């Protein structure tokens, strides 16, 4: 995954507590999306994904700035 990470735009946050709240609001969707990318048959997935498992499976990095270098409208 590190060679080709997925990047997601999330709501702006002010501090680590707000960052944690953002992750807690979307971890299940992100977990499932990543698992689907690795293995479409969900019988091979961990049986019960949890918020506690999420950081064990995925590295979470946050950045405060995103630059759009494209020439089209966003």
Read off the pLDDT of residues 2-23 as tens digits, 9 standing for 90 and up. Answer: 677 888 888 888 888 998 998 8
Read off the pLDDT of residues 22-54 as tens digits, 9 standing for 90 and up. Answer: 889 999 999 998 888 888 888 888 889 999 999
CA distance 52 to 20: 12
pLDDT at 14: 86
Residue 4 DSSP code: S
């Amino acid at each position: 995954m590190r060679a080709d990470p997925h990047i997601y735009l999330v709501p702006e946050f002010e501090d680590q507590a707000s960052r944690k709240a953002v992750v807690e609001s979307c971890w299940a969707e992100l977990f499932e999306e990543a698992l689907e990318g690795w293995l479409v048959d969900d019988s091979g997935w961990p049986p019960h994904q949890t918020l506690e498992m999420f950081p064990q499976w995925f590295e979470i990095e946050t950045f405060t700035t995103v630059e759009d270098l494209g020439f089209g409208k966003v």
